Chains A and B, each alone.
Chain A
Amino acid sequence: MSRESRRREDESYREWKGAYRPYDILREASIALGVVLALAVGLTILFSSPDLKPSTVQSWSRSDPVDFVTTATTELDGTSGTGAYGPPYNHASDGQHIAFVYLAKWFGVSHPINTAQDFVLAPLRSITRQPVLQAAISAYQAAPASTQTGWTSAYEKALGNARARPDGSITVKPGNYGPVPTMMGSLLTFAQSGGLDGALLTSKQFYQTDYTKPLLFMSDGGVLDSRAQQQHLLGTQWGMMNETGSYPGQVWLWLYTFWYQIKPFSTSANADILVMGVMGVLSLAFILIPFIPGVRDIPRRVPIYRLIWRDHYRTQRADGA
């Protein structure tokens, strides 16, 4: 079809010159509102809505002290997920990229987080009247970086075989860990008392609504993952488009979640930026369908419109007969 004939054909659809029927738009809207309200109330009465209590650093450190201490040690030496994340939290890496496009790096470190300082050292420094702990922190900070890494690496290895005691503390095989066990023992006690939850929210002002630090700390450990697995929320389980329990979640994110299930996205170190890139292009294409040859022509080649307008075509045939 030539461009001119397409233009003339399109023009013919601009205004309907055929018959009209009576219609009450406000009545239709009122009935629709009643129907939707009834559906929402009905679904509410039948199914309510989920509300699983949030995890806290306190509940995590009490239910799995070994995982908590292991995570805290990786925060101390910067090898945790957050410690090695890169922008927008720190400069540990350049972040994900597509070819030469480093969007995360270009937007920079907007929410600076030093995991050793923010998650371990500062909270421990806030514990007063414990000279042994304060001396241990000072010893750790005074040690060369290589010595610090030696202590934390050895301790992390030993934590692989650590056991939790009934009182909530942990047992680790003796070794050359320097002041790390003293620090981690105090941090564990502090967390189990609930103090660390508050310390991670401490800011320069009284009011606080930013939960970035405690959330990142917990997501570096296994507490959120294990609960998410029970609730079929892991990435391999179509992730965050699901809702806790058996409720429908953000099912409209199915395509976004779908890409994470297949290669190359499922095995790529840059999966997030690749998926975001694909979804960005697809979203733009979705908006611009009227201008995309091929995609815009499918509806007239697939006769679904004959079903939609079957009454209209039937009337046309009857009138033409």
Chain B
Amino acid sequence: MSSTTKRSWTASARKRAVGALPPEKLLPDSQPSYMSSWIYVFGVLTLTALIVIIASGSILALKGPGWWHFTGIGHFFNSIHLWSVELFFFFMVIHLWGKYWMAAWRGGRARVWMTGAVAFVVAVPCALTGYVSQQNFDAQWISTQAKDGLNAAGVGAFFNVTNFGQMYSYHVFLLPLAVVAIVIAHVLLVRKHGIVPPFQLSDRGALLASASKADPEPVPPRDPSVGNERARDAVSGKAAP
């Protein structure tokens, strides 16, 4: 490496990024053999529900906040937006419960759990600002009810749920930006650390094997340099060298 390259911020950043997330980790074409449960589907379902939310929300934002009240097509996209939000939270809650029961923070994955949990916590006010931006009776009621908790906590001083303009700004830009940023961080951390392996079973069945008995799995070791063909062999029972 030349001295110029060594001093380059760009080259250093690229080297660190590729080191942390090489292409085969970022876009993998194989996955650990233990990932054979429907519970794993809910992560990607949550992500895709978020895509539908953003797409339908963008259409609503393009036409302005009043559009959906007086046009059929506007109401249609508002309904898509509502139901994708409901699906998003439904999938995310199942995903979170699944990850809890897997203790998905094991093996240095605490940040993976924490970013996922923060995504949920930030998604709640993102949805709330949407509800109070509806410009209908539901928005009136929710804003006049929600103000008391926020005011009591001092939050109401700078986050006024009865101010439509402020809530609309939060809903269409600031909070979605935060949710998307956290979700991207979460996904990149998942790709970097991989999906948490199963608990190892002891002779008594339910407890973990001690670290001295680590890796008792009767499956061949994974050589990162080995391609997909080797992975298929491993699953089919052919031993790796």
Residues of A within 8 A of B (CB): 5, 8-26, 28-29, 32-33, 35-37, 39-41, 43-44, 47-55, 85, 87-88, 95-96, 103-104, 106-108, 110-111, 209-212, 215-216, 218-219, 224, 227-228, 231, 233, 235, 239-240, 243-244, 247-253, 256, 270, 272-273, 275-277, 280, 283, 286-291, 296, 299-306, 308-313, 315-316, 319-320
Q: A235 — nearest CB in chain B belongs to which residue? A: B145
Q: A239 — nearest CB in chain B belongs to which residue? A: B145
- Sample 23 A-B pairs with CB under 8 A, ordered by A number: A12-B211, A16-B194, A18-B217, A18-B222, A19-B220, A19-B234, A21-B232, A22-B29, A23-B31, A32-B48, A40-B83, A53-B136, A53-B137, A54-B136, A88-B151, A108-B157, A209-B163, A218-B144, A250-B127, A303-B206, A309-B37, A309-B198, A312-B33
Give chain A residues whose Cβ lies under 8 Å from the Cβ of B78. Answer: 49, 51
Contact of A253 among B27, B32, B75, B124 (CB under 8 A): B124
Q: Is the interface of A mostly helix, strand, loop or mixed?
A: helix
Contact in complex: A308, B101 (CB < 8 Å): yes
Contact in complex: A13, B196 (CB < 8 Å): yes
Give chain A residues whose Cβ lies under 8 Å from the Cβ of B106. Answer: 10, 13
Residues of B within 8 A of A (CB): 27-37, 39, 41, 44-45, 47-49, 51-52, 56, 68-69, 75-76, 78-80, 82-84, 86-87, 89, 93, 98, 100-103, 105-110, 113-114, 117-118, 120-121, 124, 127-128, 131, 134-146, 148-154, 156-158, 160, 162-166, 168, 193-201, 206-208, 210-212, 214-215, 217-222, 228, 231-232, 234-235
Q: A215 — nearest CB in chain B belongs to which residue? A: B162
Interchain CA distance A212-B150 in the complex, whole Å: 14
Give chain A residues whose Cβ lies under 8 Å from the Cβ of B114. Answer: 287-288, 290
User: Smallest Cβ distance from A97 to chain B, in angstroms?
Assistant: 8
Q: Is the interface of B mostly helix, strand, loop or mixed?
A: helix
Contact in complex: B138, A243 (CB < 8 Å): yes
